[in-house]
């Protein structure tokens, strides 16, 4: 079925890249003290890994080379330098990026991250992932990503605000409520989104729809904070059912990363009867084979205690978290942590990728050979961008939904999206990741073809 779609597109004539390239002068907590495998992430190219996964799906679809080039190339890349007067009186200059990958299905959409490892290659890869993620979730957005190369722990509140407002001023020509809509990402949250909304509104009038992930009391959406973690749980539930592995109750889970996404996923899994037996953050890890008391652990961390000091568990080296035996492993931190070097030590039945790009292409192939099912990132962590869409819709309508309404709509989106992926997985005998990319490529390509290329 999918291959026939590729053949039909090949018969529709020459495909040209419509966009332009321009260069100018979705809260996991700061993770610069990496987990095991982070060095491998730094050594490999995020863009290369993403393109390898996409190329695998393109090969299955039998798309012509010219169409493949069109789908992989970003439509615009912007690089800027932001000058900030520090509290010390010194002037520092920070590099920032915004990559707009594709807007065939709707406005560009993607987060802004503040991290010392942000670079153009990283942002380009994540922008591409957003294109496929919004397509997999079947919401009317395209893909973009942005970031500033900065260690946010070195900034005062004043410096962070100035840096954010400078970024808005620099990117204002390419942002817009119907053009490009940023959102929180690593080390950014409601505070930064409120600054962005305010700064943009100074130039363009009241514009709450310019950004999502805003505080609830400032035109944000109920349910947005937990959305990515909740969506991860919905994804796990659907995969377990499809694979006939039962329900979440009494399954064992290991979570690498205990920021916004990991902690909410842990909380909701705990509420549904799952046993979270080990979690890790950037500084340590804790385990309890009987299952951690997640609400108690979250209170412990909320009281400014370290995760590893939690008394109802055993501290373990954070580098070993990926190898703890479990039913479902949830990487919820940085990308590139599951590699050729550690994949053979992983002892789980399923991996649910709550992080962006946690598995390298080589490791993914080895996991297939081991019989480990990988629920891919472009679907698993799609809950965040889905509820961002809900927030955007509420802003356009000047109307607010209840949290139950938001969660019910998110559940329906995650369920329907998995059904679409699983149909391709079963009919074409593909891994879940390849099936997800194939479905996304199909939707994006149809939009491009039917909109035309002149």
Any catalytic annotation for residue 145?
yes
Q: Return d(Cα 361, Cα 367) in angstroms, integer.
A: 10
| C-alpha closest to that of 274 among 259, 257, 293 | 293
Q: Distances in Å between the alpha carbon of 223 and those of 239, 281, 385, 388? A: 23, 24, 12, 10
Query: Are 88 and 156 in contact, with CB atoms under 8 Å apart?
Result: no
Of the CA atoms within 13 Å of residue 264, those in its CB half-sphere come to 22
- Residue of 145, 166, 214, 318 with catalytic role: 145
Q: What's the chain's Rg over C-alpha atoms?
A: 21
Q: What is the DSSP string of 123-186?
A: HHHHHHHHHHHHHHTT-S--EEEEEEE--GGG--HHHHHHHHHHHHHHHGGG-BTTTEEEEE-T
The residue assigned the tokens 């409601």 is 190
Q: Give, in degrees to the nearest 5, the angle at Cα 246 between 242 and 250.
A: 140
Backbone angles phi, psi at 101, to 5 degrees: -85, -50
| C-alpha closest to that of 330 among 386, 383, 266 | 266
Kindly list the catalytic residues.
145
């Amino acid at each position: 079925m999918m291959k026939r779609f590729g053949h039909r597109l090949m018969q529709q004539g020459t495909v040209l890249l419509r966009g332009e390239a321009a260069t100018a002068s979705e809260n996991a907590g700061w993770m610069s003290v990496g987990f095991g495998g982070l060095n491998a992430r730094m050594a490999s190219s995020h863009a290369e890994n993403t393109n390898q996964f996409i190329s695998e799906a393109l090969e299955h679809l039998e798309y012509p080379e010219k169409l493949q080039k069109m789908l992989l190339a970003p439509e615009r890349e912007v690089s800027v330098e932001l000058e900030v007067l520090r509290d010390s009186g010194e002037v520092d200059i920070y590099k920032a990026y915004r990559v707009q990958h594709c807007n065939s299905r709707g406005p560009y959409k993607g987060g802004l991250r503040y991290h010392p490892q942000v670079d153009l290659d990283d942002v380009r890869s994540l922008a591409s992932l957003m294109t496929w993620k919004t397509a997999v979730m079947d919401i009317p957005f395209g893909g973009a990503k942005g970031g500033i190369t900065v260690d946010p722990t070195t900034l005062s509140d004043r410096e962070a605000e100035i840096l954010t407002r400078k970024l808005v001023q620099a990117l204002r020509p390419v942002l817009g409520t119907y053009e490009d809509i940023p959102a929180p990402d690593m080390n950014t949250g409601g505070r930064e989104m409120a600054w962005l909304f305010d700064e943009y509104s100074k130039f363009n009038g009241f514009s709450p729809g310019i950004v999502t992930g805003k505080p609830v009391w400032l035109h944000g959406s109920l349910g947005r904070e937990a959305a990515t973690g909740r969506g991860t749980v919905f994804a796990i539930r659907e995969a377990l059912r499809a694979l006939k592995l039962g329900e979440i109750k009494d399954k064992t889970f290991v979570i690498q990363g205990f920021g916004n996404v990991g902690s909410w996923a842990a909380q909701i899994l705990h509420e549904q009867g799952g046993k979270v037996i080990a979690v890790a953050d950037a500084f340590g890890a804790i385990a309890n084979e009987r299952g951690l008391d997640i609400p108690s652990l979250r209170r412990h961390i909320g009281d400014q205690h370290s995760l590893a000091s939690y008394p109802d568990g055993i501290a373990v080296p954070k580098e070993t978290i990926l190898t703890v035996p479990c039913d479902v492993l949830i990487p919820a931190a940085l990308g590139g942590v599951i590699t050729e070097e550690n994949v053979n030590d992983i002892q789980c039945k399923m991996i649910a990728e709550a992080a962006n790009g946690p598995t390298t292409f080589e490791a993914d192939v080895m996991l297939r050979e081991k019989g480990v099912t990988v629920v891919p990132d472009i679907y698993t962590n799609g809950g965040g961008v889905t509820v961002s869409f809900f927030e955007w819709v509420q802003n356009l309508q000047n109307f607010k939904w209840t949290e139950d309404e938001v969660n019910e709509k998110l559940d329906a989106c995650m369920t329907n999206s998995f059904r679409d992926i699983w149909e391709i997985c079963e009919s074409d005998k593909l891994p879940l990741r390849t099936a997800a990319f194939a479905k996304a490529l199909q939707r994006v390509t149809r939009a491009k073809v039917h909109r035309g290329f002149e």
